[in-house]
């Protein structure tokens, strides 16, 4: 068993990065995720593992540093919160276009604009449908506990390298700021230059050797025929992700008549709502998408065969509900799909969710 600690979600991101052999972190402070870089700076991993930690002059600079370092086959991490992620959007699109792996952590706060520093899930569209320009997708993981903040750093890097695509950990201020018991991962050494050359030498800019052709990192392709080929290759990758990487958790769905759909901290709240509803004799279950892209369309479509309706619970104006409606629509069943949520940094209470469920779905 790994080392047990009581830590904040943000601190765990930093610790997990060091332990999984991350090579570099570039970032710029913003509430509610500043503890990520604070923890890294306190830990001084450059002495321990050689990991580089650098506070850039802006989010735009951070993501472009990530772009550069990722091009060399290194494991690179950045983190920010909603307004900062918007600033990074151009760079993220370039990284996706250049097919490079990296991990981006978004500890969401309420928007739009500067908004509030309180928790929110209003960047669902931005994370899963683009954010930057062009037809690209991020692999999006939504942790709902501090333990998952630890586990998903390593997982996000594995997926990012498997697909040579940026992966995002979409957390929120609640998960970032709260402390829970966490079992830390064991230390994995950083990859050596030789290992990087062996494993990623066919694409990474590790210094051209006489025995191979040069590797070019770019998202630019002015020949439309070739650019369409690039896009087709990206799309094939995204379809493969949909086949192989869907992750979700079902809680008390076996005999459920009504299903709550929620991710991240909303899913934690809904777990309590399920308990409250069950105590009242209501057969309620919860499906928690862990990957937001690829979205668990199939399990939701399967549930639509036998349940009476769905309610998404989101800390936004209703964004994931579109994917749930698509999934239910795919199943050919016309089951009601409704939304309940709060915005602007307000976290719904478990009781409020049950009330909405009773009034809007069960009674409605």
Partner 1 sequence: MTEEIIIAGFGGQGVLSMGKILAYSGVMQGKEVTWFPSYGPEMRGGTANVTVILSDDRISSPILHEFDTAIILNQQSLDKFENEVKPGGTLLYDPNGIVHPPTRTDINIYKIDGTKIAAEMGNVKTFNMVVLGAYLKVRPVVAMESIRKGLEKSLPERHHKLIPMNLQAIEAGQQQLEAVLEV
State which residue, 247 or 272, has the beta carbon closest to partner 1: 272
Residue 229 has a CB neighbour count (10 Å cut-off) of 12
Concatenated DSSP letters of 68-94: HHHTTT--EEEEE-HHHHHHHHHHHHH
- CB under 8 A: which stretch of 86-94, 242-250, 271-279, 300-308 binds partner 1? 271-279
User: Using the rule CB under 8 A, is 347 a contact of partner 1?
Assistant: yes
The stretch near partner 1 (CB under 8 A) out of 174-182, 205-213, 292-300, 303-311 is 174-182
Residue selected from 133, 181, 212, 306 as contacting partner 1 according to rule CB under 8 A? 181
Q: Does 179 bind partner 1 (CB under 8 A)?
A: yes
Q: Residue 51 or 182: which CB sits closer to partner 1?
A: 182
Stretch that binds partner 1, among 43-51, 265-273, 303-311, 328-336 (CB under 8 A): 265-273
Rule CB under 8 A: say whether 278 interacts with partner 1.
no
Least separation, in Å, of the C-beta of 250 and partner 1? 15
Would you count residue 6 as binding partner 1 (CB under 8 A)?
yes
Does the footprint of partner 1 cover residue 178 (CB under 8 A)?
Answer: yes
Q: Is 237 in the site for partner 1 (CB under 8 A)?
A: no
From 154-162, 213-221, 268-276, 305-313, span contacting partner 1 (CB under 8 A): 268-276
Q: How far apart are CA 281 and CA 277, in angstroms?
A: 7
Q: What distance, in Å, lies between the first and last C-alpha atoms of the chain?
A: 48
Cα gap 74→184, rounded to integer Å: 22
Q: Is 41 in the site for partner 1 (CB under 8 A)?
A: no
Q: Does 111 bind partner 1 (CB under 8 A)?
A: no
Binding range to partner 1, per CB under 8 A, among 123-131, 170-178, 191-199, 202-210: 170-178
From 1, 90, 81, 125, select the one nearest 345 (Cα to Cα).
81
How far is Cα 167 from Cα 141, in angstroms, rounded to an integer? 8
Ranges assigned E (strand) in the chain: 4-8, 24-27, 52-55, 76-80, 102-108, 139-141, 166-172, 179-183, 248-251, 258-261, 284-289, 291-293, 309-314, 337-341
Is residue 141 close enough to count as binding partner 1 by CB under 8 A? no
Q: What are the residues whose beta carbons fall under 8 Å from the beta carbon of 289, sequence distance 6 or more? A: 142, 247, 248, 261, 263, 295, 296, 320
Tell me, letter by letter, the H, E, C secondary structure of 57-72. Answer: CCHHHHHHHHHHHHCC
Measuring CA to CA, which residue among 326, 328, 354 is closest to residue 340?
354
Stretch that binds partner 1, among 70-78, 177-185, 204-212, 229-237 (CB under 8 A): 177-185
Q: Which of 198, 235, 349, 359 binds partner 1 (CB under 8 A)?
A: 349
Closest distance of CB 33 from partner 1, Å: 11
CB of 276 to partner 1, least distance (A): 10
Q: Binding partner 1 by CB under 8 A: which of 117, 184, 227, 282?
A: 117
Task: Give how far Cα 291 sits from Cα of 91, 266, 270, 275, 321, Å.
Answer: 22, 15, 18, 24, 15
Q: Residue 332: left (phi > 0), alpha (psi -120 to 50), or beta? A: left
Which residue in 21, 55, 87, 180 binds partner 1 (CB under 8 A)? 180
Q: Give the one residue of 76, 142, 174, 292 binding partner 1; rule: CB under 8 A.
A: 174
Smaller CB separation from partner 1, 72 or 116:
116
Helix (H, G, I), strand (E, B) or coil at 180: strand
If one asks whether residue 4 binds partner 1 (CB under 8 A), the answer comes out as yes
Element (H, E) at 301: helix 297-304
Where does this chain bind partner 1 (CB under 8 A)? 4-6, 31-32, 117-118, 173-174, 177-181, 265, 268-269, 271-275, 347, 349-351
């Amino acid at each position: 068993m790994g080392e047990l600690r009581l830590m904040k979600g943000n601190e765990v991101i930093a610790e997990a990065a060091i332990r999984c052999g991350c090579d570099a972190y570039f970032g710029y402070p913003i509430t509610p995720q500043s503890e990520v870089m604070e923890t890294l700076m306190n830990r001084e991993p450059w002495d321990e593992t050689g990991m580089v930690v650098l506070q850039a002059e802006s989010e735009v600079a951070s993501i472009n540093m990530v772009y550069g370092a990722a091009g060399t086959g290194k494991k690179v991490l950045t983190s920010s919160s909603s307004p900062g992620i918007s600033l990074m959007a151009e760079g993220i699109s370039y990284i996706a276009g250049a097919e490079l792996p990296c991990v981006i952590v978004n500890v969401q706060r309420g928007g739009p604009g500067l908004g509030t520093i309180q928790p929110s899930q209003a960047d669902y569209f931005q994370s899963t449908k683009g954010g930057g320009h062009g037809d690209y997708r991020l692999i999006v993981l939504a942790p709902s506990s501090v333990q998952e903040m630890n586990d998903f750093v390593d997982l996000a890097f594995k997926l990012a390298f498997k697909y040579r695509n940026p992966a995002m950990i979409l957390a929120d201020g609640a998960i970032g700021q709260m402390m829970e018991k966490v079992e830390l991962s064991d230390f994995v050494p950083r990859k050596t230059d030789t290992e990087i050359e062996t494993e990623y030498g066919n694409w990474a800019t590790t210094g051209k050797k006489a025995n191979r052709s040069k590797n070019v990192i770019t998202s630019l392709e002015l020949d439309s025929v070739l650019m369409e080929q690039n896009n087709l290759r990206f799309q094939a990758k995204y379809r493969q992700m949909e086949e192989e990487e869907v992750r979700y958790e079902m809680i008390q769905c076996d005999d459920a008549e009504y299903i709550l759909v929620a991710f991240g901290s909303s899913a934690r709240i809904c777990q309590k709502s399920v308990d409250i509803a069950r105590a009242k004799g209501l057969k309620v279950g919860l499906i928690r998408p862990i990957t937001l892209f690829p979205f668990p369309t199939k399990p939701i479509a399967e549930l639509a065969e036998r349940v009476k309706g769905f309610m998404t619970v989101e800390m936004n104006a209703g964004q994931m509900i579109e994917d749930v409606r698509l999934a239910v629509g795919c199943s050919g069943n016309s089951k009601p799909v409704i939304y309940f949520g709060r915005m602007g940094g307000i976290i719904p209470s478990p009781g409020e969710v049950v009330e909405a469920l009773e009034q809007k779905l069960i009674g409605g």
